[in-house]
Amino acid sequence: MNKNKKLWGGRFAETTAHDAELFSASIQYDQRLYEQDIAGSIAHAKMLQKIGILNVEECERITAGLMQIREEIESGSFEFRTDREDIHMNIEARLTELIGAPGEKLHTARSRNDQVATDVRLYLRKQTDEIIKMIFALQRAFVKKACEYKNAVMPGFTHLQHAQPVLVAHHLLAYVNMLERDKQRYAECRTRIDVMPLGSCAFAGTPIPIDREYTANILGFSSVSQNSIDAVSDRDFIAEFLSVSAILGMHLSRLGEELVLWTSPEFAFVSLPDAYCTGSSIMPQKKNPDMAELVRGKTGRLYGNLISLLTLMKGLPLTYNRDLQEDKEPLFDTVDTVRGILSVCTGMLDRIVFNTSRLYSMADTAFILATEIADYLVMKGIPFRSCHEITGKIVAYCEKNKKTFQDLSLDEWKTFSPHFDSGIEDIVILEKSIQRKKSAGSTAPSEIERQLTYWESVMEVE
Ligand code: ARG
């Protein structure tokens, strides 16, 4: 047999052009699916034995051959060949080289179309489980920091302007909530990944009496696909994974941005561990928050990968088209990027140090308690719009006279409204303003304590 003969070469009179071979091969990147491809083939062989297509000895030789291939790949001795196109044909061709005739029976009642869809689903199921664990670890790091800085106060921002004081723990727990939704989205997505296409064959099914449930059981799939045309054409599960990952990236990119701001001398809110910063090749004093910047920067790829796949899919007629091979690079890139982002965020959060005195003094500035004054007047029965107006005038007065709220005498307060009484003094004290918050989910210490207790028990933080 011609050494370079293709597994599909029967009807061809000419060999594939070299440039066409290079252009179409996917083995450079789909070799990452080797583990899933082998597991899928072993399960398929067992099923073929069960229905009598393979005898016991053939099935055993196929299984042993596939296990040897796995070892060759893991030890680095396997030769990945571009002329064998992809991981599926590299493994199948090597199997037949190793064990001869039984290897040629393996591709019975199977096509690369259902095979590749199965491999990717197995791969993604595993990656999703690992990513969920990594998100959990990051949430845990946030919760631990929130506990550590339970009493610290910081300015909260809108429009990047000081708005109202909050507890640092409140801000940190906001990220825990975002990550919780990310985790739920991955878990949801996993239920749709966990469906086995194998047995759809090229797309129309097979006359061979295969037992799909049996194979699904071996591979740990929760169910088998219900429509073979859909099963080989569908890449929604990848689009969904890329979309969920893009949203996660968006959340952590906001964290990246905050860390970049907060480490600047203008803010000086936090310092990051040296291990997650880099220096400058020219300016010896520099400590740059590169990991935080790259979390922000790499989120761009996550968006790009989603758009690549959606664009790839939008014009494809059913069923399989070779274009679908282009699903893998965006997918692998997103998996690597998300894992990298989660890992460095956890590393930074584990050892971030908050500059609590700086945070306090920044929270205690200017007119950050203006809303408290308006709320105080509301409690005296004045409509909120008037309260807002009155407080605005007080701010203008203070600005003009270079005074803080705390500098005002009761007589001065009363010139703005007869409703002010000596109780106003407490209103403009930072800690008291935080303690006075009552609403569910607010920055009140009792609310933060409640949230912390909940997350500590979920995260098993001691
Ligand atoms: N490497 C191919 C892919 O990733 C495998 C399926 C090939 N199927 C085919 N009919 N050419 O999509």
Domain CATH code at residue 92: 1.10.275.10
Residues 202 and 341 in one domain: yes
Residues 314 and 432 in one domain: no
Per the document, the length of the chain is 462
Task: Please tell me the distance from the alpha carbon of residue 92 to that of residue 33, in angstroms, as a whole number.
Answer: 14
Whether the predicted pLDDT of 299 surpasses 80: yes
Tell me, in angstroms, the distance from the centre of ligand 1 to residue 322's CA. Answer: 6
Residues 274 and 344 in one domain: yes
How sure is the predictor about 322, in pLDDT bands with cuts at 50, 70 and 90?
very high
Whether the predicted pLDDT of 4 surpasses 70: no
Tell me, in angstroms, the distance from the centre of ligand 1 to residue 91's CA. Answer: 14
Looking at residue 368, what is its pLDDT? 87
- Please choose from 322, 326, 327 the residue to mutate so as to test ligand 1's pocket, defined by most ligand atoms within 8 A of CB: 322
* Domain harbouring 283, CATH code: 1.20.200.10
Q: In this structure, is residue 129 part of a structural domain?
A: yes
Residues 28 and 83 in one domain: yes
Tell me, in angstroms, the distance from the centre of ligand 1 to residue 16's CA. Answer: 16
Residues 341 and 434 in one domain: no
- Residue 61 near residue 91 (C-beta atoms within 8 A): no
Q: In this structure, is residue 1 part of a structural domain?
A: no
State the chain's mean pLDDT as an integer: 95
Looking at residue 284, what is its pLDDT? 78
Question: Per mean pLDDT, which range of 287-301, 331-345, 415-429 is the poorest?
Answer: 415-429
Tell me, in angstroms, the distance from the centre of ligand 1 to residue 232's CA. Answer: 10
Whether the predicted pLDDT of 50 surpasses 90: yes
- Residue 448 near residue 169 (C-beta atoms within 8 A): yes
Whether the predicted pLDDT of 315 surpasses 80: yes
Whether the predicted pLDDT of 34 surpasses 50: yes
Residues 30 and 90 in one domain: yes
For residue 196, the cross-strand partners are 224
Whether the predicted pLDDT of 2 surpasses 60: no
Atom of ligand 1 nearest to the CA of 87: 1
- Give me the number of domains the chain comprises: 3
- Please choose from 85, 86, 232 the residue to mutate so as to test ligand 1's pocket, defined by most ligand atoms within 8 A of CB: 86
Task: Please tell me the distance from the alpha carbon of residue 460 to that of residue 16, in angstroms, as a whole number.
Answer: 58
Question: Per mean pLDDT, which range of 25-34, 82-91, 170-179, 373-382 is the poorest?
Answer: 373-382
Tell me, in angstroms, the distance from the centre of ligand 1 to residue 48's CA. Answer: 22
Residues 374 and 335 in one domain: no
Looking at residue 13, what is its pLDDT? 83
- Please choose from 324, 326, 332 the residue to mutate so as to test ligand 1's pocket, defined by most ligand atoms within 8 A of CB: 324
Whether the predicted pLDDT of 38 surpasses 50: yes
Task: Give nearest CA residue, ligand 1 atom 4.
Answer: 325
- Residue 111 near residue 210 (C-beta atoms within 8 A): no
Atom of ligand 1 nearest to the CA of 26: 1
Provide mean pLDDT across the span 99-103: 97
Catalytic residue numbers, as ranges: 159, 280
Q: pTM score, two decimals?
A: 0.94
Task: Give nearest CA residue, ligand 1 atom 2.
Answer: 325
Residues in contact with ligand 1 (CB, 6 Å cut-off): 26, 30, 86, 112-113, 116, 320, 322, 324-325
Whether the predicted pLDDT of 328 surpasses 70: yes
Q: In this structure, is residue 2 part of a structural domain?
A: no
Residues 121 and 266 in one domain: yes
Interaxial angle between packed helices 112-148 and 168-193, expressed in degrees from 0 to 180 and rounded to the nearest 10: 160
Q: In this structure, is residue 159 part of a structural domain?
A: no
pLDDT tens per residue, range 398-452: 999 999 999 999 999 999 999 998 889 888 888 888 998 989 999 999 999 999 9
Given the DSSP bridges, would you call strands 223-224 and 195-196 parallel, antiparallel or unpaired?
parallel
Task: Give nearest CA residue, ligand 1 atom 12.
Answer: 325
How sure is the predictor about 1, in pLDDT bands with cuts at 50, 70 and 90?
very low
Alpha carbons within 13 A on the beta-carbon side of 237: 28
Tell me, in angstroms, the distance from the centre of ligand 1 to residue 29's CA. Answer: 13
- Please choose from 24, 81, 116, 238 the residue to mutate so as to test ligand 1's pocket, defined by most ligand atoms within 8 A of CB: 116
Tell me, in angstroms, the distance from the centre of ligand 1 to residue 325's CA. Answer: 6
Atom of ligand 1 nearest to the CA of 324: 12
The domain of 145 spans 113-153+167-361
Task: Please tell me the distance from the alpha carbon of residue 398 to that of residue 374, in angstroms, as a whole number.
Answer: 15
Atom of ligand 1 nearest to the CA of 328: 4
How sure is the predictor about 94, in pLDDT bands with cuts at 50, 70 and 90?
very high
* CA distances, 417 to each of 138, 381, 403 (Å): 49, 12, 18
Looking at residue 108, what is its pLDDT? 97
